Amino acid sequence: MVALKNTSETYGWPAKLLHWVVAILMVCLVIAGLTFTGMERGDARTELANTHRSFGLLLLVIMLVRLAWKLMNPTPEDPAGMPRWQVLSARIAHWGLYVLIFAQITLGILVSAQQPIWFFGLFSFGPLLAENREQHEMFEELHQAGWIIIAVIVGVHVLAALYHHFKQKDNVLRRMITG
Ligand code: HEM
Ligand code: HEM
C-alpha cells in the first residue's frame, strides 16, 4: 500500500509528489526567467513574464501546502552512523531551501509590485508599491542573486543524494522516489 503520512523510515506519497512538483517548477521558473529577461520588449516577452509570475504564485500556494504537510508529519530519520556534520548540513540545506524559496517568491512579487500582477489571466492585484526606479532595480538584483544561491544549494543537494545512493548505498534517494 502507498502510505499517506511520512514515517521514521520513508516519505509518504504527498511529500514525494510535492518534492518533485516543486523541483520541476523551480527548474521551469529559472528557464522562463532567464528566457524572458533576454527577449526584446514586446507581446511575447510580456506573455512569458506573466506566465513566469503566475507559476511563481502557484509555487507559493504549493509551498504553503508543503510546509504545512512537513509540520504535520515526521521527517524520516537519517541513516544510522551518518556523520554529525552531514546531518547538520542536510538539516540546514533543507530548511534553508524552504526559507530561500519563500524569499525568492517574495522578491519576485516585489520586482513586479509597481504594476498589476496577473495570475494566469484570471485576476490581477496591485500595484502594491509606488513607482520607484531605484527600489525596482534593487529587488531585481536580489531576485537575480536569489536564484543563483538556490541553484548552488540545489547542486550540492543533488550531489549529496547521488552520494547516498551510489556511494553509501542507503535508502535516502529511494525513499524520496519509491519508498
Ligand atoms: C522561486 C520562484 C522563482 C524563481 C526561481 C525565479 C527565477 C527567476 C529568474 C532566473 C529570473 C531571471 C533573472 C535575470 O534577469 O537574470 C527571474 C526574473 C524575474 N522574475 Fe522570477 N522567479 C521566481 C518567482 C517569481 C515570482 C513569484 C514573480 C512575480 C510574481 C517573479 C517575477 C520576476 C520578474 C518581474 C523578473 C524580471 C526581473 C528582471 O528584469 O531582472 N519571479 N526570475
Ligand atoms: C534531481 C534533483 C533532486 C534530487 C535527486 C533530490 C533528492 C532529494 C532527496 C533524496 C531528499 C530526501 C532527503 C532525506 O531523506 O532526508 C530530498 C529532500 C528535499 N529536497 Fe530534494 N532533490 C532534488 C531537487 C530538489 C529541488 C530543486 C529542491 C528545491 C529547490 C529540493 C528541495 C528539497 C527539500 C526542501 C527537501 C527536504 C524535504 C523535507 O524533509 O521536507 N530538492 N531531496
- Grid coordinates representing 13 are 506519497
Closest Cα to atom 39 of ligand 1: 140
pLDDT of residue 1: 58
Q: Is residue 94 lining ligand 2, measured as CB closer than 6 Å?
A: yes
Give Cα 4 distance to the centre of its chain.
Answer: 22
Whether 100 is covered by a domain: the verdict is: yes
Whether 66 is covered by a domain: the verdict is: yes
Tens digits of per-residue pLDDT, 130-159? Answer: 999 999 999 999 999 999 999 999 999 999
Task: Let me know: does 29 contact 6? Beta carbons within 8 Å.
Answer: no
Whether 7 is covered by a domain: the verdict is: no
Q: Which amino acid, 86?
A: Q
Place of cell 541513516: 79
Q: Specify the DSSP class assigned to residue 173.
A: T
Tens digits of per-residue pLDDT, 81-114? Answer: 999 999 999 999 999 999 999 999 999 999 999 9
Atom of ligand 1 nearest to the CA of 150: 5
We report the CATH number of the domain holding residue 75 as 1.20.950.20
pLDDT of residue 92: 98
Whether 1 is covered by a domain: the verdict is: no
Mean pLDDT value of segment 46-60 = 98
C-alpha distances in Å from residue 109, one per residue of 3, 83, 159, 177: 36, 39, 31, 32
pLDDT of residue 42: 98
> What is the count of structural domains for the chain?
1
Q: Is residue 56 lining ligand 1, measured as CB closer than 6 Å?
A: yes
Q: Is residue 24 lining ligand 2, measured as CB closer than 6 Å?
A: no
Whether 2 is covered by a domain: the verdict is: no
Whether 106 is covered by a domain: the verdict is: yes
pLDDT of residue 130: 98
Domain extent at residue 67: 13-176
pTM: predicted TM-score of the whole model, two decimal places: 0.96
Tens digits of per-residue pLDDT, 109-123? Answer: 999 999 999 999 999
Task: Determine which helix (DSSP H) or strand (DSSP E) holds 123, and give its type and residue range.
Answer: strand 123-125
pLDDT of residue 2: 82
Tens digits of per-residue pLDDT, 10-51? Answer: 999 999 999 999 999 999 999 999 999 999 999 999 999 999
Task: Give rounded-to-5 percent helix, strand, coil for the chain.
Answer: 70, 5, 30
